[in-house]
Amino acid sequence: MVSSESLSGYYSGFFPGERRTQLPGGYMGRILRVDLSSGLMKDENLPEEPMLRKLWGGQLLAEYILLHELEMGIDPYSRENIIVAMTGPITATGFTPGGTKLCFVYLSPATRYTLGRAATSGFLGVALKGAGYDGLIITGASANPTYLYIEEGRAELRDASHVWGKGTRETEEILRREVGRQDARIGCIGPAGENLVRAAMLVNDYNHVAAHGVGAVMGSKRLKAIVAWGTKRPRVFDRKALIETGERWRVALTPRIYTVEKRKKGLGLGGDAWGAITKYNWRSTIVTDESRGWDQNRVTLRPCFQCPRLCPWDVEFGEGRHKGKLGHFNAGGEWLDTFFNLGFKGNDVLYLSERINDLGIECSYFANGAGLAFEAWEKGVLGPERTDGLKLEWGNLEAAETLLERCARRQGWLGNLLADGPKELAQALGGEALKWVVHVKGGGTPAQHEWRPLIKNTLSELVTSGGMKSQSQSYWDWQPPPDLRYREKWGPLDRERPDGWVQSLLIVEKTRQLCGAMGGCWFAVQHTEPDSLTSLVDAFNATTGWDVSLDEAYDVGHRSIILQGLFGTQRGWIADHDWKDVGPRFLEPVPDGKHKGFTIAKWLPDLVYEYYRLSGRHEKTGRPFMETLAKLGLEEFSEWVQLD
């Protein structure tokens, strides 16, 4: 087990043995360090107040810890990989929307060399703080299947052999009964994580997932689940002010609140906002009757902890061959586009979405691997000798469901390649198939929406780490957020021209990074509405007792972006990989529909270069300049700066 005493330099004493500064509001004050190899566990005190003010929590605090503790040159599935999970100060206060986030970081098993990030909402982060902890540092690997149980400041490792091999739904029910707490919160992996599918997920509270490979890293460590229960709540600095700012935040969020009617009609972000979905391995975008039969379903909205947006939802199928069955879904709609991409419509889409969540496979990863396989079958490149007799015909439910099982369990030639990723399958097929694949950074995949009609959104998928969901995706950003117009003077932007979209991307990325660092969910932030960002920062200050300005908050978001990039820099990533190591299909012109012919490829690599320049980094290497590190207080990473 790594101890703070054995580390040197800036990180020495990062976890103080005895606090010398007051703990700000919103924090529990402790991180649980777990060594799965030895079974030893240790409480670490949170850093002193000046470091907390700089790093806050969430991804930023977690990636700072990971950068200092993770060895170089390791395999993502080795016991040396580390999972750091962190909440933030507004997590679990209960006085704001979106105070739910728990963020995991680790070496990505999808790309093998960039930061993996998986974030979840619901109640797991709330329960972790209820049990007395702000976060977890998980090292080593267990010899046998195990789960971590945390209750009221106590933690133990328990045998998980009896749930190894089971899906996430059954695992959650069994472990909840076993710990004897009906309101215990459980984050677990399914067969995909156990079998090291490179984009396997953690699934929690039925309706929530932490995607992008954390499930695979847990599987490599034989860690089946994290179970938390407790009655504690974080102290807040100014309860009255927090209640008032929380109410302002709710008002700003009002335009984004979901209803049952929206869920019965919604086709996901692309289908609803700009009228394009992914179909037939990204070869069509036209919306037809994909939502047929959904109006006959029974939909129940399932809010996250104290959040009025009502993103998660359950469904009971009201018609068709799945009538009477149930599904449990989260805020995003990538899983809709996943199965539109394979030729499905109606309740077949929702049924398969429930199956993929139970198995614990990230939907976008499967969408682009299976989509490639279906296209290869259509064109005669892939035959029954490689599919074990499955007919990979668009909309074939038996084929898709069987492929999900084979991918999750690495069964057969095709199942094993789907588990490794779309690029690996394309290389195995060879020839023209190399042109049909969609991927980013070699091993990652874009979030499964039809982004190609949108300049900012397509670029966002290219420049993200490949081991996480892009944190700059939204549709309404052709002008600055109202709360930032005192400093941002650009816009309105032209959707057909590249000018200004990089600036827009960076504003959204910083917004979402700072929101995550405070423990908030960006689905609960309507940054295009007046008072959305000011109420967010005011709520943070009322929680902690600090006096953070909007400008300082955006520096926190920038700080998180830079550390995310530095993690990849240390392991061989350069910015040129963003546009050179990408599946060709993703940069093809939109094939049909109202956006037919549009592509950002004609503006590459210039858009990528502009993104790194505007974020204070070298356009081709992605390394930060020294002045960028100095501005953000990150001089300790000067070894990795751009020197010319």
Q: How confident is the model at residue 471 (pLDDT cuts 50, 70, 90)?
A: confident
Helices (H), 341-454: 347-359, 363-378, 384-387, 397-409, 412-420, 422-429, 433-436
Mean pLDDT of 417-434: 98
Residue that is written with structure tokens 């079974």 in the block: 39
Each residue of 260-314: pLDDT tens digit?
999 999 998 899 999 999 999 999 999 999 999 999 999 999 999 999 999 999 9
> Residue 500 carries which DSSP code?
T
Q: How many CB atoms lie within 10 A of CB 113?
A: 22
d(CA 336, CA 448) in angstroms, rounded, equals 8
d(CA 34, CA 144) in angstroms, rounded, equals 15
Local structure of 118: helix, strand or coil: strand
d(CA 150, CA 248) in angstroms, rounded, equals 34
Architecture of domain 4-229: 4-Layer Sandwich (3.60)
Q: Domain map of the chain by residue range?
A: 4-229, 262-436, 455-640
Please name the fold of domain 262-436: 1.10.569
Q: How confident is the model at residue 475 (pLDDT cuts 50, 70, 90)?
A: confident
Residue that is written with structure tokens 């999972």 in the block: 83
Q: Is pLDDT above 80 for 59?
A: yes
Please provide the average confidence, as pLDDT, over all residues in the chain: 96
Count of CA atoms in the C-beta half-sphere (13 A) of 375: 25
Helices (H), 383-429: 384-387, 397-409, 412-420, 422-429
Question: What pLDDT is attached to residue 7?
Answer: 41
d(CA 43, CA 155) in angstroms, rounded, equals 10
Q: How many CB atoms lie within 10 A of CB 508?
A: 24
H or E, element range at 503: helix 501-517
Mean pLDDT of 138-150: 98
Question: What pLDDT is attached to residue 163?
Answer: 98
Q: What angle in degrees, to the nearest 10, is found between the helix axes of 168-179 and 347-359?
A: 50
Question: What pLDDT is attached to residue 8?
Answer: 45
Instruction: Please count the helices (runs of H) and the strands (runs of E) in the chain.
Output: 24, 15
Question: What pLDDT is attached to residue 297?
Answer: 98
Each residue of 63-95: pLDDT tens digit?
999 999 999 999 999 999 999 999 999 999 999
Residue type, 112: R
Q: Is pLDDT above 80 for 608?
A: yes
Local structure of 518: helix, strand or coil: coil
Backbone CA torsion sign across 373, 379, 382, 383: positive
- The residues, any chain, with a CB within 8 Å of residue 626's CB and separated by 6 or more, are 635, 638, 641
Domain 455-640 has CATH 1.10.599.10: yes
Question: What pLDDT is attached to residue 442?
Answer: 80
Q: Is pLDDT above 90 for 155?
A: yes
Q: Is the whole model's pTM more than 0.85, yes or no? A: yes
- The residues, any chain, with a CB within 8 Å of residue 181's CB and separated by 6 or more, are 151, 229
Question: What pLDDT is attached to residue 468?
Answer: 73
Categorise residue 73: left if φ over 0, alpha if ψ from -120 to 50, beta otherwise: left
